[in-house]
């Protein structure tokens, strides 16, 4: 019976390597998104002298939004791999820029990124307010506020967990 338990445990532990397919897929999606970003940048560049100030601000916000989404993908790929699959070998690659993100701080960073992306989208809506109904603006604002509240709650819960963990060490 003990040998069956050992086999099951090895299978479960080894299954974490299946996550690599997801992280590689995210890396490929990042490359596709980079092409999309390049196209957006090209459209802005060729229209730099024809866009008025409002159109240029909206275009820049679109580029910033794309950069935040790309950063979010990288953050999830790197910290997800390191937290759930395998540690990076620091002697072979300089990974000091990653910092040490545990699952809790990763959730907070992801939530913060989502709030930032939502903020930019909402700003784009407000700059084009005449193209949206009041109801649509209300729902977009409510969704953004839900993201903000969720991020604040995650941060608060993470602080509680950290205090609990620190108190148990004493």
Q: Which residue has the higher pLDDT, 12 or 84?
A: 12
pLDDT digits (tens, 9 = 90+) for 92-143: 566 665 556 666 777 788 888 889 999 998 998 888 888 999 999 999 999 9
- Give the C-alpha distances (Å, rounded to integers) separating 127 from 64, 133, 138: 15, 13, 15
pLDDT value at residue 32: 97
Helix/strand/coil for 1: coil
pLDDT band at 155 (very low <50, low <70, confident <90, very high): confident
Q: Tell how many helices (H) and how many strands (E) occur in the chain.
A: 5, 0
pLDDT digits (tens, 9 = 90+) for 42-87: 999 999 999 988 889 989 999 999 999 998 898 888 888 887 888 7
pLDDT value at residue 108: 80
Is pLDDT at 164 greater than 90 in this prediction?
A: no
Domain boundaries of the chain, sorted by first residue: 17-99, 102-170
Give the pTM: 0.74
- Among 127, 119, 117, 120, smallest CA distance to 54 is for 127
- Dihedrals φ, ψ of 3, to 5°? -70, -35
């Amino acid at each position: 019976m003990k040998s069956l338990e050992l086999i099951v445990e090895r299978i479960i532990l080894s299954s974490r390597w299946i996550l690599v397919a997801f992280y590689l897929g995210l890396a490929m999606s990042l490359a596709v998104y980079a092409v999309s970003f390049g196209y957006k940048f090209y459209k802005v560049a060729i229209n730099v002298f024809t866009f008025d100030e409002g159109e240029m601000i909206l275009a820049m916000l679109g580029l910033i939004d794309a950069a935040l989404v790309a950063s979010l993908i990288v953050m999830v790929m790197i910290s997800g791999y390191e937290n759930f699959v395998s540690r990076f070998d620091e002697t072979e690659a300089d990974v000091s820029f990653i910092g040490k993100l545990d699952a809790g701080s990763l959730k907070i960073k992801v939530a913060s990124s989502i709030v930032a992306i939502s903020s930019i989208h909402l700003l784009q809506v407000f700059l084009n307010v005449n193209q949206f109904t009041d109801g649509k603006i209300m729902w977009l604002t409510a969704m953004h506020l839900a993201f903000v509240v969720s991020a604040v709650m995650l941060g608060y819960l993470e602080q509680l967990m950290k205090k609990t963990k620190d108190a148990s060490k004493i």
